[in-house]
């Protein structure tokens, strides 16, 4: 965030550009704001590639017919923007907005300190929001401004305590590791929110979801095994998709989760009922790996110093993904084409659709399978400490949230007094119907 480099703003230059009428300028502003929001949302660098991606996914979106004059005007606006970028480069000017520069600085600081990718993205997004709130470079460096921003998050957004704490940690990281403020003190008090009960599926509901994912009329049923494995081993979604061949031990019936939440490794169970299916999946992955090697593709991504220390490991089968992606893609960090693992969002969307198709009237996400794993273990008599180890919870109080379904047919370990009452004739339907008539 050096103040020495010249800053250019396309909005300011567009407002002063004399080659457009007022109506054309308004049209350019509309589409370029649209483009900038798309680019920042998808974390794309400004340039021709981002413009092509915007045109392909937003402008030419299926089901959204466009008038010819719109396409011509929007194309002219993007051409103007690309010429403006070229002028920035020639003048050695920084075209990025304050929010974009703050986010880049936070992510760079996070990389130096070894933060996980999801943490860097999270902190960067909060820092960018704060920069937009502050408005200019002087204000963004003021602790008082940060206090007002955090107060607005707490008071105006009605978000969970964990979200408030996340925002506080992100802004504190920005001041400590980007601005160099050793101990920033923010005048804000976080608001505690009530405990939320997780969404839990019954065993019958989980199998209905699996049946929908594996139904023959679905595309290829490729999400059925991942869903069964996530439920059967209690995995987080990110842990599931990042499983590698070497992490699966068919002989011992275990899975090893590498670099889970908190950068911790742990072991969990591999369900016996899935051993044959997982073995078949390993062979299917082996065939994809063999084709990639014959095509001369770069090996899979290996994080951190391991990738530098074991340079050939990326091309070995044991480091290959258990659930590889169907298509190869460009690695934005390394600049090479390689095969990624199954995309977490794609898998999560498939689980949500399957729950809807199964007629389950709950807010089901892929994480509900992990909640259901823990709850069903408790109902089966497993002790809380074992479940904590399998889930990878640092604090057992996190695991205790599942105690609301510790035992009993209805999950609470108690029987309703209505079911125990002998006065209603064991709760017969006829008796209930007669009682209803009498009341009427």
Catalytic residue among 107, 177, 236, 301: 236
**Candidate list 121, 261, 338, 352, residue with the active-site label:** 261
Q: 261 catalytic, yes or no?
A: yes
Active-site residue, from 132, 258, 367, 404: 367
Distance CA 78, CA 38 (A): 13
Is 120 a known active-site residue? no
Q: For 186-196, b where at least 16 C-beta lie within 10 A, e where not — what string? A: bebebeeeeee
Catalytic residue among 130, 223, 231, 402: 402
Q: Catalytic annotation on 81?
A: no
In the residue annotation, 402 being an active-site residue is answered as: yes
Choose the catalytic residue: 177, 208, 301, 393.
393
Catalytic one of 95, 103, 370, 371: 370
Is 236 in the active site?
yes
The answer to whether 95 is a known catalytic residue is no
* Catalytic residue set: 236, 261, 367, 370, 393, 402
């Amino acid at each position: 965030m050096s103040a020495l480099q010249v800053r250019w703003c396309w909005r300011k230059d567009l407002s002063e550009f004399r080659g457009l009428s007022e109506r054309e300028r308004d049209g350019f502003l509309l589409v370029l704001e649209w483009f900038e929001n798309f680019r920042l949302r998808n974390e794309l660098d400004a340039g021709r590639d981002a413009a092509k991606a915007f045109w392909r996914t937003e402008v030419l979106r299926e089901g959204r017919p466009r008038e010819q004059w719109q396409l011509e005007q929007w194309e002219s606006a993007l051409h103007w923007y690309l010429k403006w970028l070229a002028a920035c480069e020639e003048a050695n000017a920084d075209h990025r907005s304050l929010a974009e520069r703050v986010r880049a600085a936070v992510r760079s600081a996070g990389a130096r300190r070894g933060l996980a990718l999801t943490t860097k993205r999270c902190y960067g997004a909060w820092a960018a929001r704060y920069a937009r709130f502050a408005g200019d470079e002087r204000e963004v460096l003021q602790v008082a401004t940060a206090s007002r921003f955090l107060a607005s998050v707490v008071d105006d957004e009605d978000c969970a305590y964990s979200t408030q704490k996340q925002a506080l940690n992100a802004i504190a990281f920005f001041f400590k590791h980007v601005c160099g403020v050793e101990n920033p003190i923010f005048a804000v008090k976080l608001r505690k929110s009530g405990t939320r009960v997780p969404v839990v599926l019954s065993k019958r509901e989980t199998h209905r979801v699996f049946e929908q994912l594996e139904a023959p009329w679905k595309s290829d049923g490729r999400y059925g095994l991942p869903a069964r494995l996530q439920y059967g081993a209690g995995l987080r979604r990110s842990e599931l998709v990042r499983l590698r061949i070497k992490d699966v031990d068919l002989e011992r019936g275990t899975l090893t989760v590498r670099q889970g939440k908190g950068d911790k490794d742990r072991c969990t169970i591999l369900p016996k009922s899935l051993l044959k299916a997982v073995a078949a999946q390993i062979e299917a992955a082996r065939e994809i790996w063999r084709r990639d090697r014959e095509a001369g593709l770069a090996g899979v991504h290996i994080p951190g110093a391991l990738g530098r220390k074991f340079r050939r490991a990326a091309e070995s089968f044991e480091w290959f993904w258990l659930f590889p992606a169907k298509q190869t893609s460009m690695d934005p960090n390394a600049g090479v084409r390689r095969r990624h693992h199954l995309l977490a969002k794609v898998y999560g969307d498939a689980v949500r659709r399957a729950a809807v198709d199964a007629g389950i009237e709950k807010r089901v996400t892929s994480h509900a399978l992990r909640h259901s794993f823990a709850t069903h273990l408790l109902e089966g008599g497993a002790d809380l400490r074992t479940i904590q180890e399998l889930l990878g919870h640092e604090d057992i109080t996190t695991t205790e949230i599942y105690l609301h379904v510790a035992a009993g047919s209805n999950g609470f370990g108690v029987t309703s007094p209505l079911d125990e009452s002998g006065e209603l004739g064991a709760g017969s339907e006829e008796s209930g119907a007669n009682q209803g008539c009498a009341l009427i």
